[in-house]
Amino acid sequence: MLNGEKIYVTSGERAELVVVWATLDRSKGRAAIKSFVVERENPGLKLERLEHKLGIRASDTAAFRLEDCRVPREDMLGSPDVDVKQGFAGAMQTFDNTRPLVAGMAVGCARAALDEIRTLLTDADVEIDYDRPAYSQHAAAAAFLQMEADWEAAYLLTMEATWMADNNQPNSLQASMAKAKAGRVGVEITLKCVELAGSFGYSEGSLLEKWARDSKILDIFEGTQQIQQLIIARRLLNKSSSELK
């Protein structure tokens, strides 16, 4: 029987199944957490509200209350045994696969904005020359070259983290690096593209303002920018979560 809340559930309204992490033993807290597949039609899973958001408005974000929500034993994922050393660490491992995907979304959004601004700059007769130093070019072209360099770094980190996940290699560090870099430059690039396009970029006549709004969540969910940096620092310095908070 599950009791509590599951908030910020992406696609929760339209989903047929919702994954809920819950502790089997309140006294052990997160060390005893397990994941459960809960059917959306389960009468104990009550949709409380849908969030109104800055971006990704085509994606619903649901808040559920679980009240005496009975879940069959076979719908618990993984072993039923409580291993306090592995409980929370197991939950965290799922991020090794999902963070590179969010990084991929940030890379894709930024790419779309770059392609759009490139078209606008070309239409405005601004030449982007890869063979000349940025300082000798139009300011908008120099900004574009800088953005492409940042984009390329995010893209390569994302490819690396994704390749490692696909090939079953431990990739926590690379997943966080990709997410941190792509999340940050995704926001910077899309907002800069709005800026370069001026009032047209800010208006709903183009998708630039949408991509700028959508990008911020990619720097937040599946672990914020600050949390990725914390994880990276812990890994590089070989510190535990209690040693580096």
Ligand X SMILES: Cc1cc2nc3c(=O)[nH]c(=O)nc-3n(C[C@H](O)[C@H](O)[C@H](O)COP(=O)(O)OP(=O)(O)OC[C@H]3O[C@@H](n4cnc5c(N)ncnc54)[C@H](O)[C@@H]3O)c2cc1C
Residues that are catalytic:
222
Q: Which of 106, 108, 114 is nearest to 208 (CA)?
A: 114
For position 63 contacting ligand X by CB under 6 A, the verdict is: no
Stretch that binds ligand X, among 147-155, 169-177, 194-202, 224-232 (CB under 6 A): 224-232
Task: Using alpha carbons, list the distances in angstroms from residue 56 to 47, 95, 109, 170, 213.
Answer: 20, 20, 11, 30, 8
Q: What percent helix, strand, coil does the chain show, rounded to 5?
A: 55, 15, 30
For ligand X, the closer CB: 6 or 192: 6
Count of chain residues binding ligand X (CB under 6 A): 15
Q: Does 10 bind ligand X (CB under 6 A)?
A: yes
* Piece of 144-152, 163-171, 205-213, 223-231 that binds ligand X (CB under 6 A): 223-231
- Closest distance to ligand X from the beta carbon of 198 (Å): 29
Specify whether the CB–CB gap between 227 and 245 falls below 8 A: no
Q: Is 23 in the site for ligand X (CB under 6 A)?
A: no
> Residue 10's beta-bridge partner residues?
61
Q: Transcribe 35-59 into DSSP letters.
A: EEEEETT-TTEEEEEE---SS-TTS
Residue 217 found at the interface with ligand X (CB under 6 A): yes
SS3 237: helix
Which of 75, 142, 224, 235 forms a contact with ligand X (CB under 6 A)?
A: 224
What DSSP character marks residue 78? S
State the first-to-last Cα distance of the chain, in angstroms, to the nearest integer. Answer: 33
Q: Which stretch binds ligand X (CB under 6 A): 7-15, 37-45, 130-138, 199-207?
A: 7-15
- Minimum CB separation from ligand X for residue 51, in Å? 6
Task: Identify residues 40-59 at the interface with ligand X (CB under 6 A).
Answer: 53
Residues that bind ligand X (CB under 6 A): 8-10, 53, 61, 217, 220-224, 226-227, 230, 245
